[in-house]
Amino acid sequence: MSKDLKSKKYSKEQYLKWYEEMLLYRKFEEKASASYIQQKIRGFCHLYIGQEAIVAGYETVLGKGDSVITTYRDHCQPIGRGTDPKIIMAELFGKTSGISKGRGGSMHMFDKEKGFFGGHGIVGGHIPLGAGIAFAEKYKGTKNVNICLMGDGAVRQGAFHEALNMAMTWKLPSIFVIENNMYAMGTSVERTSNVTELFKLGHAYEMPSFAVNGMSVEDCADAFEEAVERARNGDGPTLLEIRTYRYKGHSMSDPAKYRTKEELNSYKDRDPIASVLSTINENNYASEDELKAIESKIKQTIEECVEFAEAGDFPQAGDIYDGIYAQKDYPFIKEI
Amino acid sequence: MRVIQFREALREAMVEEMRNDEDIFIMGEEVAEYNGAYKVTQGMLDEFGDKRVIDTPIAENGFTGIAIGAAMNGLRPIVEFMTFNFSLVAIDQIINGAAKVNLMSGGQFNMPIVFRGPTASAGQLGAQHSQAFENWYANTPGLKVVVPSTPADAKGLLKAAIRDNDPVIFMESEQMYGDKAEVPEGEYIIPLGVADIKRKGDDVTIVTFGKIYHRVAKAAEALAAEGIEVEIVDLRTVRPIDYATVIESVKKTNRLVIVEEAWPLASISTEIAYKVQREAFDDLDAPIQRVTMRDVPMGYGANMVEETLPNEGRIIEAVKTVSYKKG
Ligand SMILES: Cc1ncc(C[n+]2csc(CCOP(=O)(O)OP(=O)(O)O)c2C)c(N)n1
Ligand SMILES: [Mg+2]
């Protein structure tokens, strides 16, 4: 679709919403990065900067009963679902006021109420879970769908192939989303397989499978619209390979020496937030003051996130036994 | 003696063995072009080329099985797991394959293969990245399991593991890779299955292994200042276990504490305690104590990590308990 057509399909309100959402994701991650450097956040910390159009794209079409599951790169998906960013930041800081009560950390955000089934740390391990969430929706007879996000590295795991096969055979309401940012840590997609057009992997299971430009939120939203409709109608899963880029290293400790500055810049030149902003400007969807207001609102939100996270308490040492079993009086082995 | 890092000691072991034997190769995620997620394999691609230093996709089940098949057909693979948390994706191949082919084939097929990488916790990495599976693997007949605590041990033990004709699980630690210590020049082998007395003492025996040894060593210093002399037995290999050295030490000190990083139920400490009560019941002056990881998955917060892992305070408390010097 040409840019003009796209701009016509989506309303002014939609563009402003996208701008605000994606800018919030980015500013949130920038603050997480700064807080990591200040050692407020510890452990592994993977940022979503550059990939924002994917979450903004599916949230354009997702409803309340729908669900999302993802990897350890999981700060922005719950925010997209409507989780208060304050409690995501508090989780990063390891506070009991965090979404996982300070137990999960950066890689393990969960928000059951909002339909966010978590941040999972074992590459590929959560893909069957995504299919299982969809299985339960079908079983219960709802029209809800599941979005299952994964990296390009994850598609080389057996779990991916097993899950796709069953999801297709059983026509589960799943949308499998490969966030192809071209690298799994330091390993480029080409170095892991002869099949580098990852959407083609779905063809092995006769699954409707498409490549999508992940630097365009319109393209993402279009692709999700079609896939979600297919799933809701009971016509089964879709595989989307969304071609995107992570601007930062794999995690905070990766200097990303395996790729060139030119490559990075070629994506930054197509930045999804900048391109939404230029559509807004070209069409006079907002005045400079209105845009400033959005930006300062986000700035304020981020400041509140940090204040809230700082103000929270760390778990108490004795809390380590909480929330492991549903059984309240489980007899743990307790010795010296 | 020269001082090198733990990761360098491991690398020397692999490089020396690979120079001697063309059948040895290493495969794993990021081992070649990235020079290792934790830089253990730095420079090895340059020396040995991509035939023998092989980057894999993230496909633990597949590449582990491929390595096992290659071992059945005459090669001597080293498989690096980025961490042993991810070895669970491949554990079927290890337990149902590597550990059993020798028996199932009536001894026709040996399994000369090493699975190595870091185990256990490494800071605030959360529940899925902070697990110690030494006892899981040690439970399986057909495997050998090595868990070194120092660079010098790591080098000699890894060379022994690579030369071994049976499958060896070799478990390291992210938190030890940067540790520097004296390592002898030149080639040397430390046989598998032999414990090492890392500190001599007459009052209490502490049996331990792997990274957590270093917390034991610190606690022993503190206890020495209070007049309690601890003998530290570093098992080094947890399958097979050098029971004789443990029993001998307990017969001398009459008191035993076991410290390990894994969870308590069905652990190495459970096994040692069983064996010692059977072989040295009359030599014990106090019930055996142990310090393990708390019986919980690891939470993220800093104080949760500290509370969950064996720490010096708990080790000291256990030693005082068996010495009846508590409180
Ligand atoms: C089973 C397993 N193996 C290895 C790892 C270590 N690891 C964490 S992320 C990662 C790279 C994943 O890359 P990709 O799937 O492309 O996702 P991205 O990080 O690019 O979003 C690796 C190897 C892991 N977490 N789980
Ligand atoms: Mg990737």
Q: Ligand 1 in contact with A122 (CB < 6 A)? A: yes
Decide: B193 and B160 in contact? Cβ < 8 Å.
no
Q: Ligand 1 in contact with B29 (CB < 6 A)? A: yes
Q: Ligand 1 in contact with B86 (CB < 6 A)? A: yes
pLDDT of amino acid B325: 87
Measure A329 CA to nearest chain B CA, in Å: 14
* Ligand 1 centroid from CA A15, angstroms: 33
Task: Classify B26 as helix, strand or coil.
Answer: strand
- Assigned domain for A238 exists: yes
Decide: B204 and B228 in contact? Cβ < 8 Å.
yes
* Ligand 1 centroid from CA A124, angstroms: 8
- Mean pLDDT estimate for chain A: 96
- Assigned domain for B61 exists: yes
A55/A21 Cα distance (integer angstroms): 9
pLDDT value at A241 more than 90:
yes
Decide: B70 and B37 in contact? Cβ < 8 Å.
no
Q: Does A97 touch chain B (CB under 8 A)?
A: no
Q: Does A122 touch chain B (CB under 8 A)?
A: yes
Backbone angles phi, psi at A116, to 5 degrees: -110, 110
Cβ-Cβ contacts under 8 Å, B83 against chain A:
none
Domain count of the fold of chain A: 1
Specify whether B172 is located in the same domain as B244: no
B292/B212 Cα distance (integer angstroms): 10
Structural domain of residue B127, as residue ranges?
A: 3-182
Percent of chain A exceeding pLDDT 90 equals 97
pLDDT of amino acid A118: 97
Q: How confident is the model at residue A95 (pLDDT cuts 50, 70, 90)?
A: very high
pLDDT tens, position by position, A66-79: 999 999 999 999 99
Best of A96, A120, A178, A320 to disrupt the B interface (most B CBs within 10 Å) is: A320
- Assigned domain for A135 exists: yes
Output the pTM of the full model. 0.97
pLDDT of amino acid A5: 58
- CATH number of the domain that residue B264 is part of: 3.40.50.920
Query: In the structure encoding, which two tokens stand for residue A295, read together?
Result: 């930006």
pLDDT of amino acid A6: 58
**Mean pLDDT, residues A167-183 taken together:** 98
- CATH number of the domain that residue A236 is part of: 3.40.50.970
Structural domain of residue A94, as residue ranges?
A: 3-321
Surface of B (210-269) touching A: CB under 8 A: 264-265
| C-beta neighbour count of A81 within 10 angstroms | 20
Of B182, B210, B226, which residue is a domain's last? B182
Cβ-Cβ contacts under 8 Å, B290 against chain A:
335-336
Q: Ligand 1 in contact with B60 (CB < 6 A)? A: yes
- Assigned domain for A239 exists: yes
- Assigned domain for B187 exists: no
Domain count of the fold of chain B: 2
Task: Classify A179 as helix, strand or coil.
Answer: strand
Decide: A95 and A102 in contact? Cβ < 8 Å.
yes
Query: In the structure encoding, which two tokens stand for residue A210, read together?
Result: 């498409």
Q: Ligand 1 in contact with A155 (CB < 6 A)? A: no
- CATH number of the domain that residue B170 is part of: 3.40.50.970
Query: In the structure encoding, which two tokens stand for residue A109, read together?
Result: 């955000």
pLDDT of amino acid A1: 46
Q: Which one, of A285, A173, A283, A289, lies nearest residue A232 by Cα? A: A173
Percent of chain A exceeding pLDDT 70 equals 98
Residues of B designated catalytic:
60, 129
Q: Which one, of B311, B289, B85, lies nearest residue A72 by Cα? A: B85
pLDDT of amino acid A4: 56
B34 contacts A315? CB cut-off 8 A: no
- Assigned domain for A104 exists: yes
B305/A90 Cα distance (integer angstroms): 17
- Assigned domain for B53 exists: yes
Specify whether B163 is located in the same domain as B202: no
Show pLDDT as tens, one digit a residue, over chain B (327 residues): 999 999 999 999 999 999 999 999 999 999 999 999 999 999 999 999 999 999 999 999 999 999 999 999 999 999 999 999 999 999 999 999 999 999 999 999 999 999 999 999 999 999 999 999 999 999 999 999 999 999 999 999 999 999 999 999 999 999 999 999 999 999 999 999 999 999 999 999 999 999 999 999 999 999 999 999 999 999 999 999 999 999 999 999 999 999 999 999 999 999 999 999 999 999 999 999 999 999 999 999 889 999 999 999 999 999 999 999 865
Specify whether B178 is located in the same domain as B87: yes
Q: Which one, of B159, B229, B232, B146, lies nearest residue B194 by Cα? A: B146
A125 contacts B57? CB cut-off 8 A: no
- Assigned domain for B213 exists: yes
Cβ-Cβ contacts under 8 Å, B59 against chain A:
156-158
